[in-house]
Amino acid sequence: MDRFVFLTLDGLSRGAVLAAFALALVLIWRAARIVNFAQGAMAVATAYVAYSVSAATGSYWLGFLAALVAGLLLGAAVDLVVMRFVDHASPLNPVIVALGLVLLIQAVLGMAYGSEFLPAGTPFSRNPLTVGGAAVLSPYDLFVFAAVAVVVVGLAWTFTRTAVGLRMRAAAFAPEVSRLLGVNVGGMLTLGWALASGVGALAGMLVIPTELGLHPHAMDLVFVSAFTAAVVGGLDSPPGAVVGGLAVGLLLSYVSGYAGSDLTPLAVLVLLLAVLLIRPGGLFAPVAARRV
């Protein structure tokens, strides 16, 4: 029973990070109808920025801040320099371009930092606290929950309560009409990319210390898990991404706890296939007529 409680809490902590990362995917999907396959590589790049800043200043928090700022800038740059010029006639094109970015970013990181695993620091201890003799969450897990909660609430507030959020939703929903009404549609798109990439950077900062460490490919499997989370919740639904993230985190934790950590990638693949074949729109999608 103790083990089950521990695995559940550990799974929720993993899931919170996946939720944030899935949220980043959903943000871009809603804004631009692109699944950003470069999200993982971009998050790793910002984590390397944090590594450099932390190494230079000796402060985790300056590095953390630098990663978030780098995430915002990188997202805006990817939109302004690359994605804006991609022909969206075929849905394949943005995917292929994003994969080109993956190769490019990982290669640049490999050239700059080498392909060894670098240690990634944490601001709080990762040793679990014990309550009544049972190991429960570590202070770092609490930090993860808090950070993800701030992001989720902040995004929800931005999109539903502020003028910028309204403009962003309008620009994504009806670009032509929004433009006629004076909304800077291109700017909103760039802002959406920047926000999503910033959230992705945060998720990367949170997840990399819990894995093997900093490596150009550190986020490959995390990306697959987060994509699964986004699909479980439905690519169009931000609450779905959060729930999906937690669900995938729990699944990963149970599989690695009871069946062996080698099997987690397979479990993710099976879950992804099952959701796509049984309920392709995700668990939270409204039932829609087939588009022709």
Partner 1 sequence: MSATRAATPPHTSRRADGAGPDGARRGSTLRRHAGLAVIAALLLVAASYNLEPFRNFQLATVAAYLCATAGLTILTGLNGQLSLGHGALMATGAYTVALCQNAFADAGMTGGWLLPVSLGAAVVAALAVGAVVGVAAARLRGPYLAGVTLAVAVVVPALAVTFDGVFNGEQGLAVPVEPPPAFLGVYFPYERWQLWVTAAATLLALVLLANLVRSRYGRTFRAVRDDEVAARLAGIHVARTQVIAFVVSAAGAGLGGALLAVLAQSVSPGAFSLTLSLFLLMAVVVGGLGSLTGAAWGAVLLVALPDLTHAVTEQLTLSPAVAQRVEGNLPLAIFGITLVVVMIAAPGGVQGLLSRLARAVSARRPGRRRP
Interface residue with partner 1, options 73, 77, 80, 86 (CB under 8 A) = 86
CB of 230 to partner 1, least distance (A): 9
The type of residue at 33 is: R
Sign of the CA dihedral with 51 first, then 223, 9, and 155 last: positive
To partner 1, the closest distance from the beta carbon of 106 in angstroms equals 7
Q: Per rule CB under 8 A, is residue 186 in the interface with partner 1? A: no
User: Measured between alpha carbons, how far is 220 from 151 in angstroms, rounded to an integer?
Assistant: 23
- The nearest distance, CB 36 to partner 1, in angstroms, is 9
Using CB under 8 A as the binding criterion, the count of chain residues that bind partner 1 stands at: 52
> Cβ closer to partner 1: 156 or 263?
263
Residue from 185, 188, 194, 231 in contact with partner 1 (CB under 8 A): 231
Element (H, E) at 134: strand 134-135
* Cβ at position 56, least distance to partner 1 in Å: 20
Give yes or no for residue 65 binding partner 1 (CB under 8 A): no
Q: Which residues of 41-69 are buried (b: 16+ CB within 10 A; e: fewer)?
A: bbbbbbbbbbbebbeeeeebeebbebbbe
Q: For residue 259, what are the CA distances in angstroms to 15, 253, 270? A: 18, 10, 15
Q: How far is CA 77 from the centre of its chain?
A: 18
Q: Residue 166 Cβ, how far from partner 1 at the closest point, in Å?
A: 26
Place of tokens 């849905």: 91
**3-state SS class at 55:** helix
282 in helix, strand or coil? coil
**153 interacts with partner 1 by CB under 8 A:** no
Which helix (H) or strand (E) covers residue 66, if one does?
Answer: helix 60-77
Please identify which residue in 26, 50, 53, 105 interacts with partner 1, judged by CB under 8 A.
105
- Binding of residue 212 to partner 1 (CB under 8 A): no
| Residues 6+ away with beta carbon under 8 Å from 24 | 36, 39, 196, 197, 199, 200, 203, 226
Among 9, 13, 14, 37, the residue binding partner 1 under the rule CB under 8 A is 37
Is residue 24 within 8 Å of residue 229, measured between CB atoms?
no
**Which residue, 107 or 181, is less far from partner 1 as judged by CB?**
107
Which DSSP symbol is given to 263? G
Residue in 263, 279, 283, 285 binding partner 1, rule: CB under 8 A = 263
Specify the stretch interacting with partner 1 by CB under 8 A; choose among 58-66, 105-113, 126-134, 151-159: 105-113
Q: How far is the CB of 43 from partner 1 (least distance, A)?
A: 16
Q: Do the beta carbons of residue 9 and residue 195 sit within 8 Å?
A: no
Q: Which stretch binds partner 1 (CB under 8 A): 12-20, 45-53, 56-64, 272-280?
A: 272-280
With binding defined as CB under 8 A, does residue 107 bind partner 1? yes
Q: Which stretches of the chain bind partner 1, using CB under 8 A?
A: 29, 34-35, 37, 82, 85-87, 90-93, 95-97, 99-108, 110-111, 114-115, 217, 220-221, 223-224, 227-228, 231, 235, 260, 262-263, 265-266, 268-269, 272-273, 276-277, 280, 290, 292
